[in-house]
Amino acid sequence: MTVSLRPPAHSEELKVSFPQEHVILLTLARPKYLNAMTPQLTSDIANVLCWFDDEPSLWVVIMTGEGRAFCAGADLKAWHLAQSKGQATEQESVASSLHGFAAISRRHTSCKPMIAAVNGPAYGGGVELILNCDIVIASEGAVFALPEVKRGVLAAQGGTFHLYHAPPLHTLVIPRLAKIAGHQLASEMLLLGTTITAVQARDRFRFVNTVVEQSEVLSAAFDVARQITSNSPDSVQSSKEGLILAQKHHFEDTVRTHSLSLVSKRLYGGTNIKARSESFASSLSFQYKRKPRWTNPAKL
């Protein structure tokens, strides 16, 4: 399956691989700089994710970092360069953004699951990236911080990253963190700029699903991806769309919009649900049913 997959050309700042069927692994590859985000790396991620969204045979994406850090946020050298050129367009960038920090933090156009395999520290935009992932696996040594207040900037789009000469960025980190952790705990991270541990991120702030040993981060992420891909991709993607819509609408509007969406139409009219219904009908009992063989979803 993976032999025929040809992702878009990208720089050495991003590594792309296919560790198992239906899964793509994106590795931030700037370990010397703690995988700090550059305009080039953002462009690479954006192009690969757009291709991923349109590739029917890929159902799950995993994000991780190379070396001892996951992502240290924005690359300050690029920020200083933008500042020296007078490229300070913060408000315009916020208003016109599409996908946010690293082309991920505000990415609401994809119904395919995204897993963060957090191998080490995540700061600023690195945390914002994580907050928009569906499942977060963190190493026990990982730490998280939104230190923008200590630098005189705002945790609204990767801190200073919006000043780059790059596509405008924006994220919903403040309302999203408040919704996940609650007002008081979100205030603790945003107003104090303090660092929290992986266990705290899981147990108190609730944006980490699982904490594992450093050596097990990727294997744990692969296991979660394997569980996801054992399910119907039509059902999984429709379920994620429902979660995305729930962030935007009230209950009734969410139900109505979701039920009438193209993704739901594909689910109910697709080959996977028909094949599964036929399998149930032909089985003597539930316990003897054959394991389903899901097919790639049709393109929307």
Active site residues: 128, 148
Other beta carbons within 10 angstroms of residue 32's beta carbon come to 9
Helix (H, G, I), strand (E, B) or coil at 109: coil
Give the integer Cα–Cα distance in Å for 118 and 214: 9
Burial grade of 51 (CB within 10 A; 0-12, 13-18, 19 or more):
middle
Q: What is the dihedral of CA 141, 160, 17, 267, to 10 degrees?
A: 100
Residue entry with tokens 């600023």: 124
Task: Tell me which H or E stretch contains 133.
Answer: none
**Residue type present at position 146:** L
Contact 124, 159 (CB under 8 A): yes
Beta bridge partners of 117: 64, 137
Nearest to 122 by CA among 157, 77, 78, 73: 73
N-terminal to C-terminal alpha carbon distance within the chain? 21
Q: Write phi, then psi, for 5 (nearest 5 degrees).
A: -80, 125
**Residue type present at position 277:** S
Give the integer Cα–Cα distance in Å for 73 and 124: 5
Contact 178, 131 (CB under 8 A): no
* Four-residue CA torsion sign, 44, 46, 51, 57: positive
